[in-house]
Amino acid sequence: MGAVTLSGVAKRYGGTEVLRDINLSIEEGEFAILVGPSGCGKSTLLRMIAGLEEISGGDISIGGRRVNDLEPKDRDIAMVFQSYALYPHMTVADNMGFALKMARVDAAEKQARITRAAEMLGLTPYLDRYPRALSGGQRQRVAMGRAMVRDPAVFLFDEPLSNLDAKLRVQMRSEIRQTQARLGVTTVYVTHDQIEAMTMADRIIVMNGGRIEQVGTPLDLYDRPANRFVAEFIGSPAMNMIAVTDGRLPDGTALPLIAPAGAVTVGLRPEHLHPGPAGITVQVTGVEPTGAETLITATLAGQPITAALRDRVTVRPGDSLTLGFDPAHLHLFDAGSGQRISR
């Protein structure tokens, strides 16, 4: 009942096309995350699913029903906004019950649903409070509760954690994930934070410039990025990109890599580098120990390169360092198109 299907969806503002030919199907009960840099169109896409933005082309269907021309309230969705959008003049209970009041659900049923959601979210002691008397995390939960009481086919989240501090964000991340898993409701979640996407999603949809770059499970995207954009977007610190021509660096140094002839970009994740007797020799420019690992910034024939080392190393800026890697961890991209070259 809660599958979301987008076919050929487009969005134009006047002559500007912000989304083009979006095809996507989100299965029932799936936790799908739209991720991408600001301005990539992910929020617009979510708002189009919600019915808050008109659709310029294509079809959106929810639960097998075409919803293009339906009002948000008729789409069987619930949305959690970035600012939470709690009604400031209503108590927590009234906030959660507003949609039910509008739908003329009878009082006993309404009360039961609010009580159940409040218990699930640990909001029972706060039901009579106003939003201004709640902490950020509690407000977030109320916004969740407001979506839950409606028992919708689809949850839509628009960067719901971006107003929280780092610690609370990690906590709410798992709370949202657990709640969604318990309810089994199809969820479309927008974020620009790739860590949020990696840790929460069943499937990630990476967007850029109004297009979908790649759709896949978090580890799919990490292990087999379809192009340079996804490779650099997923993973932190970002993947190193080294320009190589005919197996040589721009300064002519031969690389011990298995690279095809011609110009390619070699991708290598910082965590896949380790100090070794054989490999690439880099000039260290910075050392950032974080305790668990040491982040080395360096240059390789003038190109910046980052290594995240598990072992403690005693190097200082200016030193040379030889880093080894497993060739299986290399990613090759076409230097022109940036598309992945399969090996």
Partner 1 sequence: MKKTGLTRWVVLGLLVGLLALMLAPIALAVINAVKTAADYAARGPMALPRSFDLSGLRDFWSHVNFPLKLWNSLLLSGCAAVFGVLLSLLNAYAIGIGRVRAGRGILVLILMGIMIPQESLVYPLYYLTKSVGLFDSLWSVIIIFTVLQAAFGTYLLASVLSEFPRELLEAARVDGANRWQILWQVVFPILRPTLAVLATFFFIWTWNEFLLPLVLLASNDHQTISVAMGVLSGQYVSDPTTTAAAALLGILPTLIFFLIFQRTLTRGITVGAVK
Residue numbers at the binding site for partner 1 (CB under 8 A)? 50-52, 71-73, 77-79, 81-83, 85-89, 98-99, 102-103, 146, 150
Type of residue found at 199: T
Residue 142 or 239 with smaller CB distance to partner 1:
142
Query: What minimum distance in Å lies between the beta carbon of 72 and partner 1?
Result: 5
Residue 159 or 213 with smaller CB distance to partner 1:
159
Query: What minimum distance in Å lies between the beta carbon of 218 and partner 1?
Result: 28
Residue 18 or 52 with smaller CB distance to partner 1:
52
Please, which residues have CB within 8 angstroms of residue 135's CB and are 6 or more apart in sequence?
A: none
Query: What minimum distance in Å lies between the beta carbon of 52 and partner 1?
Result: 5
| HEC sequence for the chain | CCCEEEEEEEEEECCEEEEEEEEEEECCCCEEEEECCCCCCHHHHHHHHHCCCCCCEEEEEECCEECCCCCHHHCCEEEECCCCCCCCCCCHHHHHHHHHHHCCCCHHHHHHHHHHHHHHHCCHHHCCCCHHHCCHHHHHHHHHHHHHCCCCCEEEEECCCCCCCHHHHHHHHHHHHHHHHHHCCEEEEEECCHHHHHHHCCEEEEEECCEEEEEECHHHHHHCCCEHHHHHHCCCCCCEEEEEECCECCCCCECCCCCCCCEEEEEECHHHCEEEEEEEEEEEEEEEECCCCEEEEEEECCEEEEEEECCCCCCCCCCEEEEECCHHHCEEEECCCCEECCC
Q: Are strands 4-13 and 57-62 parallel, antiparallel or unpaired?
A: antiparallel
In angstroms, the first-to-last Cα distance of the chain is 40
Residue 86 or 249 with smaller CB distance to partner 1:
86
Residue 88 or 291 with smaller CB distance to partner 1:
88
Residue 99 or 241 with smaller CB distance to partner 1:
99
Query: What minimum distance in Å lies between the beta carbon of 144 and partner 1?
Result: 13
Q: Is 54 exposed, middle or buried (0-12, 13-18, 19+ CB in 10 A)?
A: exposed
Query: What minimum distance in Å lies between the beta carbon of 99 and partner 1?
Result: 4
Residue 102 or 133 with smaller CB distance to partner 1:
102
Query: What minimum distance in Å lies between the beta carbon of 94 and partner 1?
Result: 10
Q: Could you identify the residue written with the tokens 């310029």?
A: 56
Query: What minimum distance in Å lies between the beta carbon of 89 and partner 1?
Result: 4
Query: What minimum distance in Å lies between the beta carbon of 54 and partner 1?
Result: 13
Residue 79 or 226 with smaller CB distance to partner 1:
79
Residue 65 or 329 with smaller CB distance to partner 1:
65
**Cα(194)–Cα(173) distance, rounded to whole angstroms?**
13
Query: What minimum distance in Å lies between the beta carbon of 220 and partner 1?
Result: 32
